[in-house]
Structure 1
């Protein structure tokens, strides 16, 4: 058997794996309708941990305080900021009766560790139901808290929301960031629907304080600077206690990174954190990424050699049709359909970038959350 024949057989297997993944994602999440059933308001504590975020707090905190929700407090955690973050927090506190400030001083043992600051914020919160977002995030509507809280129940102690990024015209970086955000959301929402929740995003998620302390908080990974959101979910979430919330009113909107350098550093932190996931999640995510990478490598190689070109092109087209259906339904649900026709090119860039990030992280790992 020739080398090209072997490459073709492997390519068929790879395409098969990709089709299984995208078909599973398609039917588990992409085409499912988002539920909008609201329940009686429960007492909430919104926790925002900020480090040098004075400008973002000025801009976004009013949208949190304007939520159409009866009973909630906002716990603002100042993580040893060097700008006017604390002053801005105190100004809002003077104007509102539902703000609580936690001022975290520099601690040599926990320097640069967001988890330490968040833990102090969680301890200071008054309510059992906690909602997390970031200072650079703005709720997509005044019903954000109502939508997120509606997913809690006696059984559901974790709610995974969607943190979108604002759209910028004529920006390749912005398109890449939004594409990567949709693909990531497609994965973690799909796995949660399949009973295998593995991560959430700190820009928009919620869980019970009781669950946090029953799982010893961040103790299992406190030494790891990143992962206050996804590592805790990976540790505490299961098929019975996790729900998702993907109505448009429940989204948060963040400002994306403005330079490739800042975005790459952010992604390096995320990739380094994923290495601490449970083994089953690492295997599933690894197979998905490796099959995606090899799809491009083997597909391009076979086209260059001109081997079974009709079958190779047919398999490539079939895979892209299923992928675009899956991505398209997801993008529509997540209110970002403009990227659909650019998906193949954005995927190729993202796959190669992730490979370079993985190699860079083998050499050195990012140390601090900000």
Structure 2
């Protein structure tokens, strides 16, 4: 039994090392272009979908209106708001020359509300490029728009994946949110750089409108809860048409959930979407998360078994000793590699998680992925519609 455990542990650690050293290192070593607005800057429509976001819009819209870019507009999709958003948009944005809005008055059974709002926004967009964000996000600088567009280096690039960190708050929940956000970015940015893009985040995502309509928009997943960003990108992104933007000036800071209940609802939606990914993406992500969990679980099991052997006076065979040393050495090397490479990425991505906390983050994410996997397996599909 101990031999099988050690072999399984060694395989799991080996898979992890392949991802860390050959995939994640691409993000750690990536050199972002310093370019700002390209000489032939395409006009852009910034789209913000908002459902009862009055307070957030009063803070966000002036920041969007003040972007340093030659030709753009901001289109707010007011989706059935009842909190004073409509009155604010009708009466208080006259000084924001770039801002327009469209009111949506009802839901439609054939499509989820946010996908409907985004589809209407894209149809009404007057420019060939759209940049998406959420009402509770804040661009890091007035160069956010220009920096994202700068990655449209030629006509073959249709999609730019940005990063959206969460604000730092005290507490375990906030640390978990930031850790999960960082590691999600490590995965989607690194795999995009490796020529295997599979998702983006709607809090900071740019693409050409032709890409949306040429691929029938959200049609194939119009009734799926969530997926207005990652499922769409999963369908249309390729190695040739996708770029990433890691310039700190182009980050959009988001407000994190403050209760475990709200966060669980958000994560439930995200987990529900993953099963609709392309088969290749599911295999790659499954290997990554599965080996991550097994690296720690089998390590703990092996540690307990070794302790049991010591207490009972049981001796190891020569083969078992060799496997134990190899697996333990690989685990330590993998831990140090994770610490160095993901820590470096965290430094680049707004110091999302302090580098000293990398080992804590590593174990925390293994526990999170393990519990999330069990939850997905044993829970029934949730058919309720959440707007966000």
Q: By the TM > 0.5 criterion, same fold?
A: yes
2:216 is paired with a residue whose SS is coil
Moved over 6 A (4+): none
How far did 1:110 drift?
A: 4.6
Find out whether 1:161 has 2:159 as its counterpart.
no
How far did 1:338 drift?
A: 4.6
CA distance in 2 between partners of 1:253 and 1:337 (Å): 11
Number of equivalent positions: 367
Find out whether 1:208 has 2:216 as its counterpart.
no
How far did 1:99 drift?
A: 1.9
Distance 1:265 1:354, change over 3 A: farther
CA distance in 1 between partners of 2:60 and 2:96 (Å): 15
Partner of 1:245: 245
How far did 1:313 drift?
A: 3.5
Partner of 1:9: 7
8 A contact 1:199–1:234 mirrored in 2: yes
CA distance in 2 between partners of 1:368 and 1:57 (Å): 23
Q: For each residue in 1:125-148, what CA deviation from the matched residue of structure 2 results, as whole angstroms up to 9, or x when unmatched?
A: 100100000000000001000100
1:68 is paired with a residue whose SS is coil
Partner of 1:295: 295
Find out whether 1:369 has 2:386 as its counterpart.
yes
Find out whether 1:319 has 2:320 as its counterpart.
no
Partner of 2:309: none
Partner of 2:370: 355
CA distance in 1 between partners of 2:373 and 2:382 (Å): 10
- Bigger radius of gyration, 1 or 2? 2
Partner of 1:79: 79
8 A contact 1:164–1:251 mirrored in 2: yes
Tell me which moved more, 209-218 or 23-32. 23-32
1:335 to 350, 353, 356: 350
8 A contact 1:25–1:186 mirrored in 2: no
8 A contact 1:269–1:366 mirrored in 2: no
8 A contact 1:162–1:201 mirrored in 2: yes
CA distance in 2 between partners of 1:21 and 1:266 (Å): 27
- Runs of 5+ consecutive residues of structure 1 not aligned to the other structure: none
Q: For each residue in 1:113-168, what CA deviation from the matched residue of structure 2 results, as whole angstroms up to 9, or x when unmatched?
A: 21011100111110010000000000000100010011112110101000111112
Q: For each residue in 1:27-77, what CA deviation from the matched residue of structure 2 results, as whole angstroms up to 9, or x when unmatched?
A: 322122222112133200000001111111112221111111121100100
1:165 is paired with a residue whose SS is coil
Q: For each residue in 1:241-277, what CA deviation from the matched residue of structure 2 results, as whole angstroms up to 9, or x when unmatched?
A: 1011110011000111111111121111111101100
Tell me which moved more, 235-244 or 312-321. 312-321
8 A contact 2:166–2:253 mirrored in 1: yes
Distance 1:92 1:163, change over 3 A: farther
Q: For each residue in 1:74-103, what CA deviation from the matched residue of structure 2 results, as whole angstroms up to 9, or x when unmatched?
A: 010011122122222223432223222111
Tell me which moved more, 180-189 or 309-318. 309-318
How far did 1:206 drift?
A: 0.5
How far did 1:366 drift?
A: 5.5
Tell me which moved more, 57-66 or 33-42. 33-42
Find out whether 1:23 has 2:38 as its counterpart.
no
Partner of 2:304: 304
